[in-house]
């Protein structure tokens, strides 16, 4: 089930809201847990069982990890190992089994008879949101072991924290300390609910009115193969806008849904295409993932405390793993390396020169182009596919016959206008969290009109993927 669907908007969400507010306060977390499991298991109930298994193991791991800080003593290491190894094992099996098998067989075939191929025909299906709730469960156990959070005694409240449907399938990755008090004593107010409706409406509009039309352009270009340079750049920039407003829209909707139930989630997206550096980009794009990689991987690896070479190696290693986290494909690894090398080069420049590579008015478009070229690896199906796009971008390929049809199709006035509007909003628009600090009558009417327009447009669209649901 996705937020931008009729089932969610007109059936699931009204039911959960009515059930939640009719239920006495002590039982509201249980209501949310029940509906969250229904939401997650809608396509496949077995996914909900896997989620509950992870919840159970990490709840036990948290209790064991807390022994490190109890008066009677205890290392808590068993809990730490259990709470880190088990979720990573689950993630590895479901997300990387097919990838590992196919790569092993490719190596075995190239090596010769001395290396046996894995004759396993099992096709593992990736449960939605597995990468997100796995990382969230790990932060809980690690923070307890470090003493940064206290273990949750109520297993139902802990399950609600992990399974909470607004952020379950695509984040933000919420640390337990950020939400612990809200699980116990949050207060739902009309103001929070109104802001929640505002966030959700704007997020839905971003998804339906901007991301989906840009995605149609991007899919047409990436499916064409070699094409004219102008069309290739149009497709790459369209994909940059699709993934931007897809994720920005989802982040707004997640925050909005949380507010409707009294939860205040951290901001997870903050105008990343206005970044003046690659470092700035990662402070703004998927903020909760960036902070996870920093606090649970980069710093434990040594961060910037062990010399420049080690710092550069740590940056690249973290981004390589971040790329692999996004998808079990070497193209995602290259995307991670693209950003990792960019971060390292940028840090080296700042150390040697002492200032940014370019002034702000040049840095913003430069970072946007670098990020957009990186998205080619993110979107491409293979190295050869990415190579086709790059050859087209720089005029090094002869367009094939399909490009003749593509040229007229992507230049439809509606699609091009949507692309230019999306570009303008990404650079000059007011971020949602600033726009909705307060809601007056005029703003409320505007939000309602945006919501109606998005719902009407959604009814006429058949193209409605959520990119980050694949991770």
Residue keyed to tokens 């931008």? 4
pLDDT digits (tens, 9 = 90+) for 327-385: 889 999 999 999 999 999 999 988 888 777 888 889 999 999 999 999 999 999 999 99
pLDDT digits (tens, 9 = 90+) for 404-421: 556 666 667 888 899 999
pLDDT of residue 357: 81
Reading the chain (471 residues) residue by residue, the pLDDT tens digits are 788 888 999 999 999 999 999 999 999 999 999 999 999 998 889 999 999 999 999 999 999 999 887 766 667 889 999 999 999 999 999 999 888 888 878 887 777 666 666 666 666 778 888 999 999 999 999 999 999 999 999 999 999 999 999 998 887 999 999 999 999 889 999 999 999 999 999 999 999 999 999 999 999 889 887 888 888 999 999 999 999 999 999 999 999 999 999 999 999 999 999 999 999 999 999 999 999 999 999 999 988 888 888 999 999 999 999 999 998 899 999 999 999 999 999 999 888 887 778 888 899 999 999 999 999 999 999 999 999 999 999 988 777 655 655 666 666 788 889 999 999 999 999 999 999 988 888 999 999 999 999 999 988 877 666 777 666
Please report, to the nearest 10 degrees, the dihedral formed by the alpha carbons of residues 305, 307, 312, 317 taken in order: -60
Q: Count Cβ atoms below 10 Å from residue 364 Cβ, excluding itself.
A: 18
Dist CA 103 CA 97 (whole Å): 10
> Among 376, 378, 371, which Cα is nearest to 346's?
371
Q: Count Cβ atoms below 10 Å from residue 147 Cβ, excluding itself.
A: 12
Sign for the pseudo-dihedral over CA of 283, 285, 288, 290: negative
Dist CA 239 CA 45 (whole Å): 32
According to DSSP, residue 69 is labeled G
Residues 6 or more apart in contact with residue 62 via CB below 8 angstroms: 79, 83, 140, 141, 144, 151, 152, 158
Domain positions in the chain: 6-186, 192-276+356-470
pLDDT of residue 305: 86
Q: Exposed/middle/buried for 137, CB within 10 Å: 0-12, 13-18, 19+?
A: buried
Dist CA 238 CA 394 (whole Å): 17
Backbone phi, psi, residue 109, to 5°:
-65, -35
* pTM for the predicted model, two decimal places: 0.92
**Residue 226: alpha-carbon gap to chain centroid:** 29
Catalytic residue among 286, 326, 339, 433: 326
Dist CA 46 CA 127 (whole Å): 9
According to DSSP, residue 230 is labeled H
Measured CA to CA in angstroms, residue 355 lies from 310, 347, 352, 360 at distances of 22, 10, 9, 12
69 in active site = no
Cis-peptide, bond into residue 172, ω within 30° of zero: yes
């Amino acid at each position: 089930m996705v937020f931008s669907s009729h089932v969610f908007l007109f059936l699931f969400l009204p039911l959960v809201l009515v059930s939640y507010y009719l239920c006495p306060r002590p039982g509201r977390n249980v209501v949310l847990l029940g509906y969250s499991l229904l939401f997650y298991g809608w396509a496949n109930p077995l996914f909900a069982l896997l989620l509950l298994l992870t919840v159970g193991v990490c709840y036990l791991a948290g209790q064991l990890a807390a022994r490190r800080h109890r008066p009677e003593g205890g290392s808590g290491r068993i809990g730490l190992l259990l709470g880190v190894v088990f979720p990573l094992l689950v993630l590895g099996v479901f997300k990387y089994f097919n990838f590992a098998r196919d790569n092993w067989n490719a190596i075995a075939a190239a090596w010769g008879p001395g290396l046996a191929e894995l004759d396993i025909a099992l096709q593992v299906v990736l449960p939605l949101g597995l990468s997100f709730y796995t990382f969230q469960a790990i932060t809980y156990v690690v923070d307890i072991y470090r003493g940064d959070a206290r273990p949750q005694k109520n297993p139902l409240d802990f399950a609600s924290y992990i399974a909470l449907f607004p952020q379950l399938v695509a984040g933000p990755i919420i640390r337990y300390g950020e939400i612990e008090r809200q699980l116990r004593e949050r207060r739902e107010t009309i103001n929070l609910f109104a802001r929640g409706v505002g966030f959700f409406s704007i997020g839905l509009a971003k998804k339906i009115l901007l991301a989906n039309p840009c995605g149609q352009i991007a899919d047409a270009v990436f499916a064409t193969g070699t094409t004219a340079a102008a069309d290739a750049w149009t497709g790459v920039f369209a994909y940059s806008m699709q993934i931007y407003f897809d994720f920005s829209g989802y982040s707004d909707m997640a925050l909005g849904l949380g507010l409707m139930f009294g939860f205040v989630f951290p901001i997870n997206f903050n105008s990343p295409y206005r970044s003046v550096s690659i470092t700035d980009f990662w402070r703004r794009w998927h903020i909760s993932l960036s902070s996870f990689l920093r606090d649970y991987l980069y710093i434990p690896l040594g961060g910037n405390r062990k010399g420049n070479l080690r710092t550069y190696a740590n940056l690249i290693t973290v981004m390589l793993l971040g790329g692999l986290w996004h998808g079990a494909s070497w193209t995602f690894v290259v995307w991670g390396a693209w950003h990792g090398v960019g971060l390292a080069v940028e840090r080296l420049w700042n150390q040697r020169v002492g200032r940014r590579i370019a002034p702000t008015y040049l840095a913003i478009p430069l970072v946007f182009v670098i990020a957009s070229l990186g998205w080619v690896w993110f979107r491409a199906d293979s190295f050869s596919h990415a190579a086709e796009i790059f050859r087209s971008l720089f005029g090094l390929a002869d367009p094939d016959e399909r490009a003749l049809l593509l040229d007229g199709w992507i230049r439809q006035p509606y699609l091009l206008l949507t692309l230019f509007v999306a570009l303008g909003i990404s650079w000059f628009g007011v971020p949602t969290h600033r726009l909705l600090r307060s809601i007056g009558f005029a703003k409320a009417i505007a939000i309602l009109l945006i919501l109606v327009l998005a719902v009407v447009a959604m009814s006429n669209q058949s193209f409605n993927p959520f990119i980050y649901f694949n991770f």
